[in-house]
Structure 1
C-alpha cells in the first residue's frame, strides 16, 4: 500500500489551515509541536474529520500523557526515543485496523486498562447501555469487518457500497458507541458483547 504525504505542519496554526484545506486518513501528531496545547488538536481533528486516525508522538515515555491522548481519540502513541520499525509502518498498521503503541507504554498501561474494564462491568448480553443507541445490521457488518482490520475501501468492496457510505456507517457507529476511533469502537463493542465472534480477529 502506498503512503501519500498530503501536508506537513510546524505549528498549531498550520494544523488548523491543513484541516480546512486538506483531506487525509491518518495524522502523525507531535505533542511537542510549537505553541503547545497539542492534545486539543486531537479534539479539533475529531470534530472536523471524525474518521481520521491520529497517532501521537512524544519525547515523553509517560503513560499518563498517553492515556490523555487516547481519551481525546488518538489511535496510537509512539515515544520518539524508543525503537520501533518506522512511522510509515505505524501508519500502515493504523490503516489496517491496528493501534501502534510503544511497548514500554503498553506494558505500563495494561494494569490500568484491566482495572478500568473491571470497574465498568462490561456487559456481554449484546444490549447497549443507557445513552447508547443500537447498531443497525449494516453497521454491525461494517464493525465486524473493521474489527478484522479491513480498511474503509475494503469494507465498501466487500459489502457492495461506496467508500463514502462505508465511512458514513463508521461515523454513525462512533456516535452511537460514543467513541472517537476504530480501536475504541472495536474495544467497546467487544465489551458490550456486540463482537464476540470477532475476539480472535482483533489481535489486540
Structure 2
C-alpha cells in the first residue's frame, strides 16, 4: 500500500453506521474517503471508475452476498485491502471472507467503529485487523479441525510452493507471458486498463519483481507458469 493519501470506500446499508464512518474518516488528512455506498451495485459502479486502497464492507447487503462481493472486489476490481465489518460471526463466514480476499474481519458486537482509523493504520503497516470474537472463532475452528499427516513422496524433487496470486492475477500474468499489451489484456478480460495496471502492480509486489520479464521468470520458477 502506498505511503501517501489512502483511498477508502465503505459499503454499509445502516445510516447510523454510515454516519460514524463519515465522522471518523472525513477529517483525516491522510485519508481520501471516495464514497459510502449502501449496496453492491453502487459500490461496484464506483470501484470501476476509481482506485481504492481499502474497502470496508458489511456482509448483510440489500442486493447480494457480501462474501461474493469481497471476491469480486479483490479479483476483478483490484481493491488492495478488504475488511469485513459485520454482525455475522460464524466460522464459515470468517473463513470464506478471508478465502475470498479479505485481510481483516471486525465483528460489530465487540468493536467500536470509532477505531476505524486504527484499522487503517494496521493495514498500512501490512497488518490484519481482527476483532477478538473473530479471532477466537477462528482459533476454535482450527482446534476442531482434524490433523491429517501428509504422505511425502520420496521422489519429489522440490517442495510445492503455494501460488501467491489470486486467480484473476494469474490470468493477467498468463496473458502478460504471451506478450499481450495492457490494452489487449483489458479487452480479453473485459476489464479497464486501470484495473489491469492495478493487477500488475499487485503481481510485481507479490513476486517481488520490477518488470514483465522478471515476473514471468519468477512465476515459472514457482510453477505458476510453464517454464519458459
TM-score, scaled to structure 1: 0.57
* Shift in alpha-carbon separation, 1:92–1:116, aligned structure 2, 3 A: farther
Higher RCO (CA < 8 A, seq sep 6+): 1
Question: Given the alignment, which residue of 93, 100, 104 partners 2:129?
Answer: 100
- Structure 2 residue 55 is the aligned partner of structure 1 residue 15: no
CA shift for structure 1 position 165: 8.1
Larger fraction in helix: 1
Q: Which residue of 1 aligns with 2:119?
A: 90
Supply the distance in 2 between the matched residues of 1:112 and 1:119 (Cα, whole angstroms).
Answer: 15
- Structure 2 residue 46 is the aligned partner of structure 1 residue 46: no
Supply the distance in 1 between the matched residues of 2:103 and 2:92 (Cα, whole angstroms).
Answer: 15
* Shift in alpha-carbon separation, 1:115–1:96, aligned structure 2, 3 A: farther
3-state SS of 1:24 partner? coil
3-state SS of 1:15 partner? helix
Kindly provide the CA deviation profile for residues 22-74 of structure 1, in whole angstroms up to 9, marking residues without a partner as x: 10111001111221311111111122244511100111232221111111111
Supply the distance in 2 between the matched residues of 1:101 and 1:52 (Cα, whole angstroms).
Answer: 17
Q: Which residue of 2 aligns with 1:192?
A: none
3-state SS of 2:55 partner? strand
Q: Which residue of 2 aligns with 1:112?
A: 141
* Shift in alpha-carbon separation, 1:67–1:167, aligned structure 2, 3 A: closer
Question: Given the alignment, which residue of 62, 66, 75 partners 2:90?
Answer: 62
- Structure 2 residue 33 is the aligned partner of structure 1 residue 5: yes
Supply the distance in 2 between the matched residues of 1:78 and 1:99 (Cα, whole angstroms).
Answer: 10
Question: Which structure has the larger Rg over C-alpha atoms?
Answer: 2
Q: Which runs of 5+ in 1 are unaligned?
A: 134-162, 174-204
Q: Which moved more, 1:58-67 or 1:21-30?
A: 58-67
Supply the distance in 2 between the matched residues of 1:164 and 1:58 (Cα, whole angstroms).
Answer: 27
- Structure 2 residue 60 is the aligned partner of structure 1 residue 29: no
3-state SS of 2:64 partner? coil
CA shift for structure 1 position 129: 0.6
Question: Given the alignment, which residue of 107, 113, 116 partners 1:79?
Answer: 107
